[in-house]
Structure 1
């Protein structure tokens, strides 16, 4: 079997790889803070952050909005509930599912983490000027929106 001609492919120049590496670097830097100071893993924090941003959500909605695997979201929800940071309540629109929402303790922790996360993210973006940062955010949004429109089958 002959090897396909991939001589012109360089993984480090492949945009999806670059985005993933940059995202992981930023996430891991912020994760150090909430792991060390709050005992949270990345997925647990992302679920908490989404609940803080959007309010009560079903696990299906959390999976869709965070783009995290449903098993990982389920595990994170259980940890947050066990720690008293989130609670389930019946879903008035669908008796087959529950809504997850932050507790008072969860809101308190969320309020402590957000300023630190913002400061770290701002520090990491210091290398860009204001206009470059705005353009970067717009480009990321366009790429994300287009990727979601074309779906996984494209």
Structure 2
């Protein structure tokens, strides 16, 4: 028996997922075709490009990605010579990740494309709408879910 009191298309997590998937498809094609990257790889690349040297744990905290996915992405980026790893002298369990010159070049290329793509995605919105959308999404991404059952 259908539940007429619940509309999946109005469920906020569903809407956010649909918006994320549809808005990222064209950009995904670019980093996949140009650099053979998966989503987690470009996210790691961008974090290193934006923030400089980081550990996998620091990327995980910033990007809200699982350490296993980060580890695989780092391995692929290292194989492509976009990232170097250096063991921490004080804690051998830690590796410091840094972009290579090729990694910086890929990041700069994709950053420019991302900026143009972002502008195209929001071109039909007014400045106030763009600002409100970004603020609301940032607020949702940092909101506490503690106590929800």
When the two chains are superposed, the root-mean-square deviation of aligned CA atoms in Å is: 1.7
SS for the counterpart of 2:92 is coil
TM-score, normalization by structure 1: 0.88
Alignment of 1:150 onto 2:145? yes
Matches within 5 A, 1:5-154: 6-92=3-89, 94-146=91-143, 149-151=144-146, 154=148
Instruction: Select between 89-98 and 125-134 the one with higher mean Cα deviation.
Output: 89-98
Unaligned runs of 5+ in 2: none
By how many angstroms is 1:121 displaced? Answer: 1.6
Matched length: 148
By how many angstroms is 1:18 displaced? Answer: 0.7
TM-score, normalization by structure 2: 0.91
Q: C-alpha distance in 2, partners of 1:109/1:71?
A: 23
Alpha-carbon spacing, 1:91–1:25, altered in 2? closer, same or farther (3 Å): farther
Unaligned runs of 5+ in 1: none
By how many angstroms is 1:142 displaced? Answer: 1.3
By how many angstroms is 1:6 displaced? Answer: 4.0
CA deviation map 1:83-139 (0-9, x unaligned)? 100010122453321111111110011111111111112111112111100011111
